[in-house]
């Protein structure tokens, strides 16, 4: 049995046609708006918004739902709308109670900015010369839209409170007539109230013959705001999504609003404004979402904060369980902690010993580098001793020994032996291994001792100039042996840098200068200097410019100086050849 293609197409259209037509129907987007004017005016005011959304969101049909505050809250409760456009006060209340979230803020031409757009005007008849300021309304009849009306009462309420006036007790009469707002202006015109509270710009929107019959009390000077206001200004109306609004739809609407061009009436939308000023108003008045601040009883606190009370009770039970468990575990962990501390102390002790060994090896390395000249220096007094001893033997053999000759030879032998012993004593003191000990020393004296030690190790001694300046009596708290090690290392490096110079041109300068509690010690040579790229790595371990160097001397010197609270650096001199090493130490008063 075969089917004609025409019948197959008709069958598919019969079964799937209703589904396709249903899916093609546009989805209705319900936008609830707080109606503070008559229906016709509200439709005209929001018509450009609906037209723009209908164009920007193909497949959706935006519908405006005008509601008063009670109906608007009911619609949010039942989630029967997708978006809400309302005044700042009503938005904050719905945000805190139902979690609605603003996606854009209204930006109108008459407001200087979206964050300074909504205020209240307290109006009286123009012929009421007895009423000049807000303070004059104490004991008078006042009319407003409603206790929950933001621009129609609450904004002005805050100003009255700051003047020490309670609208609910200090007015002779306070009446709420509801929306639309012209009910307030009609009551003031008819004399049923001495003053009325309306949203700012309400009077300016009236025909001139009607607006001239009113006067605004205590007008404030708000820059660039075209209307008279008796209060400070607050952010403009937001549009907000409900928790039930699909995120994709919310994103599309937000994108469309921000792309909406300015209408003929001056309406557009901008990024969501900061509504913290509205929260501050409600907290100060203890109303709206902050009305609980008026209550003070324990029962009211429990009812108000029952989620917090439940959370605290849960935390208390958890804390008790946790405390018992911690008490159980603390004993077991104490032993492990003690073991960890003991291991840490052992590691620190090993590190200290290792550091001392490294410093000791560094000192021995300096002596090793100077061993050739040191042997020559010690050999001189030994040779002199041998010569004088041989001279005495020859005199004895020749029978020409006299008391004077024996005395002269003995004194020379003793002097040369003392010279050799002095050299060895200084070297032994420098090279011995011992723990770090800090003491108070005058640094100039320590520098002079180091220079003597250094020159005593050399046969061809360079010229060393020491300029103590005003630092002759400056004391520091240091390990003398470690500072000598640093000085010897810098002097040895300076001498090595001048190996290519004739002996009479080899010179080292040592300069001491105090500056604001810090002593600067500079050692300069007149050698070939160093390239900038070499200076960048000069203090890194194992970096050296010497063919037989290990690259540890300056690295160890840096560690020692930093341990003393100082700093070691190298830079070319201001004039002439060479290199200047400078290290600092805190002055000890």
Angle at 218 between CA 214 and CA 221, to 5 degrees: 105
d(CA 494, CA 574): 17
d(CA 119, CA 228): 9
Give the β-pairing of 60-67 and 267-270: unpaired
DSSP letter at 137?
G
Q: What is the pLDDT of residues 493-507, one digit of tens each?
A: 888 888 888 888 889
Give the β-pairing of 27-34 and 195-199: unpaired
Instruction: Report whether 434 contacts 480 (CB < 8 A).
Output: no
Tokens of 84: 């809400």
Would you tell me how many other CB atoms lie within 10 Å of the CB of residue 538? 20
Tokens of 578: 């060479």
Would you tell me how many other CB atoms lie within 10 Å of the CB of residue 382? 13
d(CA 462, CA 444): 20
Q: What is the CATH number of domain 5-112+253-276?
A: 3.40.190.10
Instruction: Report whether 46 contacts 84 (CB < 8 A).
Output: no
Taking every pair of C-alpha atoms in the chain, what is the biggest distance, in angstroms?
Answer: 157
**Terminal C-alpha separation, the chain:** 116
Write down the domain spans for the chain. 5-112+253-276, 120-233, 436-589
Q: Do the domains 120-233 and 5-112+253-276 match in fold?
A: yes
Q: What is the CATH number of domain 436-589?
A: 3.30.565.10
Concatenated DSSP letters for 216-271?
ESS----TT--S--SS--B---EEEE-TTS-HHHHHHHHHHHHTPPPPTT-EEEES
Cis peptide upstream of residue 267 (ω within 30 degrees of 0) = no
DSSP letter at 501?
S
Closest CA to 496 of 347, 369, 358: 369
Q: What 3 state SS string does 413-429 have?
A: HHHHHHHHHHHHHHHHH
Which listed CATH number (3.20.20.70, 3.40.190.10, 3.40.50.2000, 3.40.50.300) goes with 120-233?
3.40.190.10
Token pair 């490096």 in the structure block, residue: 493
d(CA 308, CA 394): 111
Please give the chain's pLDDT, 589 residues, in tens.
444 444 444 444 444 444 444 445 789 999 999 987 788 888 899 999 999 999 999 999 999 999 988 999 999 999 999 999 999 999 999 999 999 999 999 999 888 899 999 999 999 999 999 999 999 999 999 999 999 899 999 999 999 999 999 999 999 999 999 888 889 999 999 999 999 999 999 999 899 889 999 999 999 988 889 899 999 999 999 999 999 999 999 999 999 999 999 998 889 999 999 999 999 999 999 888 888 777 665 665 666 677 888 888 899 999 999 888 888 888 888 888 888 888 888 887 777 766 666 656 655 555 555 554 455 456 556 756 776 677 677 777 777 777 776 777 787 677 667 656 665 665 565 555 555 678 899 999 999 988 887 887 676 788 899 999 888 889 999 988 888 888 888 888 888 888 888 888 889 999 999 998 999 999 999 998 888 887 777 777 767 776 655 666 787 788 888 888 999 999 999 888 999 999 999 998 7
Which residues is 63 bridged to in the sheet? 30
Q: What is the pLDDT of residues 438-472, one digit of tens each?
A: 889 999 999 998 888 788 767 678 889 999 988 88
Neighbour-count burial of 343, counting CB atoms closer than 10 A to its CB (0-12 exposed, 13-18 middle, 19+ buried): exposed
């Amino acid at each position: 049995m075969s089917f004609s293609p025409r019948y197959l197409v008709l069958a598919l259209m019969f079964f799937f046609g209703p589904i396709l037509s249903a899916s093609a129907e546009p989805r209705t987007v319900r936008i609830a708006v707080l109606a503070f004017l008559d229906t016709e005016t509200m439709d005209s005011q929001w018509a450009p918004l609906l037209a723009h959304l209908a164009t920007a969101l193909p497949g959706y049909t935006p519908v405006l739902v005008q509601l008063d505050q009670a109906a608007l809250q009911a619609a949010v409760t039942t989630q029967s709308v997708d978006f809400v456009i309302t005044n700042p006060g009503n938005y904050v209340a719905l945000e805190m109670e139902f979690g609605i979230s603003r996606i854009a803020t209204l930006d109108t031409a008459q407001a200087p900015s979206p964050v300074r757009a909504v205020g209240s005007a307290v109006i009286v008849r123009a012929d009421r010369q007895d009423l000049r300021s807000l303070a004059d309304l104490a004991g008078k009849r006042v009319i407003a839209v409603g206790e929950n009306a933001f621009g129609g009462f609450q904004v002005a309420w805050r100003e009255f409170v700051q003047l020490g006036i309670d609208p609910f007790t200090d007015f002779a009469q306070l009446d709420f007539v509801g929306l639309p707002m012209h009910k307030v202006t009609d009551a003031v015109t008819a004399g049923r109230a001495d003053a009325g509270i309306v949203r700012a710009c309400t009077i300016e929107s009236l025909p001139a013959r009607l607006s001239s019959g009113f006067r605004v009390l205590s007008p404030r000077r708000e820059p660039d705001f075209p209307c008279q206001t008796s209060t400070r200004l607050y952010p403009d109306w937001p549009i907000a999504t409900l928790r039930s609004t699909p995120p994709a739809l919310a994103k599309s609407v937000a994108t469309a609003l921000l792309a909406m061009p300015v209408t003929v009436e001056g309406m557009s939308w901008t990024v969501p404004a900061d509504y913290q000023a509205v929260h501050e108003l409600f907290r100060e008045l203890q109303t709206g979402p902050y009305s609980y601040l008026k209550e003070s009883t324990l029962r009211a606190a429990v009812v108000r904060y029952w989620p917090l009370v439940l959370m605290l009770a849960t935390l208390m039970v958890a804390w008790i369980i946790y405390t018992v468990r911690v008490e159980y575990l603390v004993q077991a962990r104490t032993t492990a902690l003690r073991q960890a501390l003991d291991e840490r102390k052992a590691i620190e002790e090993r590190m200290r010993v290792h550091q001392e060994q490294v410093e000791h090896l560094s000192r021995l390395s300096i002596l090793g580098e100077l061993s050739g000249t040191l042997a020559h220096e010690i050999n001189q007094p030994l040779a002199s001793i041998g010569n004088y001893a041989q001279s005495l033997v020859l005199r004895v053999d020749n029978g020409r020994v006299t008391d004077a000759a024996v005395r002269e030879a003995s004194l020379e032998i003793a002097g040369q032996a003392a010279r050799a012993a002095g050299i060895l004593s200084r070297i032994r003191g420098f090279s011995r291994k011992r723990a770090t000990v800090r003491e108070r020393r005058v640094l100039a004296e320590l520098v002079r001792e180091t220079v003597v030690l250094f020159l005593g190790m050399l046969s061809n001694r360079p010229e060393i100039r020491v300029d103590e300046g005003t630092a002759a009596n400056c004391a520091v708290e240091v390990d003398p042996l470690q500072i000598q090690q640093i000085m010897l290392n810098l002097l040895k490096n300076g001498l090595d840098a001048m190996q290519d110079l004739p002996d009479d041109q080899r010179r080292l300068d040592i300069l001491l200068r105090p500056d604001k509690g810090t002593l600067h010690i500079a050692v300069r040579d007149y050698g070939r200097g160093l390239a900038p790229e070499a200076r960048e790595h000069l203090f890194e371990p194992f970096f050296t410019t010497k063919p037989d160097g290990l690259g540890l001397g300056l690295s160890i010197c840096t560690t020692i100086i930093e341990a003393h609270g100082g700093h070691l650096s190298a830079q070319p001199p201001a004039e002439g050849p060479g290199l200047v090493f400078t290290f600092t130490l805190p002055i000890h008063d």
